[in-house]
Chain A
Amino acid sequence: MPNPFNINTAREGDLSVITLEGFVDAHTAPKFENAVQSEIEKGHNRIIVNCEKLSYISSAGLGVFMSFIEEVRDKGGDIKICGLVDKVKSTFVILGFQEIFDIVDDQPAAVQKFSAG
């Protein structure tokens, strides 16, 4: 049974952009966790997670956002989430993530949010 998942990290100026693709569940979430951890270890605390190609996320993936957000904010950074398709967005909204996280439409908007402080 295929479990299509892909993750890519790139730098855009002083921002790290982590792009998620496919399905983030309890099987694939550790790769996402490692990617975020790796950026924080490099001192990259301004992180955008681009979800344009993310088709599914379960609590294992959502937990990654939860477990790092306080740490990056303590270090002056943030995790901004962009590009959620409706089906995925509804999962974030059910849990009330929009109260805690900056969730914006697309990557330029996320970059703009960081620029605006």
Chain B
Amino acid sequence: MAAIEKKFTLKFPSSTENLALVREFVSGIGRQSKMSEADIAQLELAVDEACANVIEHAYGHDVSKDVIIRAVFDDERVRISVIDTGCGFDPTKVELPSLEQLVTQRKSGGLGIRLIRSLMDDVSYEIVPGQKNELHMTKKIRKDQP
């Protein structure tokens, strides 16, 4: 029998004060998908990072803009898309300096992207010029052992 796909969407104003709400939404998705607690924590963090990037960089803290999170899951994986209409920026193509380089340059940039790449099984980016940017992140479901 084909797996049933479940879809959920959250749309919120582009402000960092909403990141707590984003994490609640994502952990709810993780629990519904029966993902392990450790993986839910990783999913929460990756989506928080993606949304913070949009709020700060794509929208420049403009609270009149909306960020959309689309979550789809079945028995095998959770796929989360973070969608914005701001300045397109492909985080999958960013060259990341080493941690030692960041320390000596007194910079903290790129940590979020590094986390997203580490925490998710697949990350891709799609730009529809002048319309929207979508960051797609997929995590396989590994259930807690009974």
Take A59-B108, A67-B106, A87-B41 as given contacts and tell me if A94 and B119 are in contact as well, using a CB distance cutoff of 8 Å. Answer: yes
| Residues of the A chain whose Cβ atoms lie less than 8 Å from the Cβ of B106 | 66-68, 70-71
Distance A90 CA – B119 CA, assembled complex (angstroms): 11
B24 interfacial by beta-carbon distance below 8 Å: yes
Choose the segment among A8-16, A21-29, A44-52 that binds chain B (4+ C-beta atoms closer than 8 Å). A21-29
A7 interfacial by beta-carbon distance below 8 Å: no
Q: How far is the CB of B83 from chain A (nearest CB, A)?
A: 18
Q: How far is the CB of A70 from chain B (nearest CB, A)?
A: 5
Distance A58 CA – B45 CA, assembled complex (angstroms): 7
Name the residue of chain B whose CB is nearest to the CB of A25: B19
Are B103 and A26 in contact (CB-based, < 8 A)? no
B84 interfacial by beta-carbon distance below 8 Å: no
| Residues of the A chain whose Cβ atoms lie less than 8 Å from the Cβ of B49 | 58-59
| Residues of the B chain whose Cβ atoms lie less than 8 Å from the Cβ of A68 | 106
Are A3 and B20 in contact (CB-based, < 8 A)? yes
B52 interfacial by beta-carbon distance below 8 Å: yes
Are B20 and A58 in contact (CB-based, < 8 A)? no
Q: Which of B108-135 contact A (CB under 8 A)?
A: 108-109, 111-112, 114-115, 118-119
Are A26 and B16 in contact (CB-based, < 8 A)? yes
Are A95 and B41 in contact (CB-based, < 8 A)? no
Are A66 and B111 in contact (CB-based, < 8 A)? yes
Q: Which of A46-91 contact B (CB under 8 A)?
A: 56, 58-60, 62-64, 66-71, 87, 90-91
A116 interfacial by beta-carbon distance below 8 Å: no
| Residues of the A chain whose Cβ atoms lie less than 8 Å from the Cβ of B99 | 66, 95-97, 99-100
| Residues of the B chain whose Cβ atoms lie less than 8 Å from the Cβ of A99 | 99
Distance A91 CA – B99 CA, assembled complex (angstroms): 14
B93 interfacial by beta-carbon distance below 8 Å: no
Name the residue of chain A whose CB is nearest to the CB of B112: A59
| Residues of the A chain whose Cβ atoms lie less than 8 Å from the Cβ of B119 | 94
Take A1-B21, A3-B20, A23-B20 as given contacts and tell me if A67 and B108 are in contact as well, using a CB distance cutoff of 8 Å. Answer: yes
Question: What are 23 A-B contacts with C-beta separation under 8 Å?
Answer: A2-B20, A23-B20, A25-B52, A56-B45, A58-B19, A58-B52, A59-B115, A60-B52, A63-B111, A66-B99, A66-B103, A66-B106, A66-B108, A67-B107, A68-B106, A71-B106, A87-B38, A91-B45, A94-B115, A95-B114, A99-B99, A100-B100, A100-B103
The 3 A-B residue pairs with the shortest CB-CB distance in the complex, in nearest-first order = A63-B108, A59-B111, A27-B16
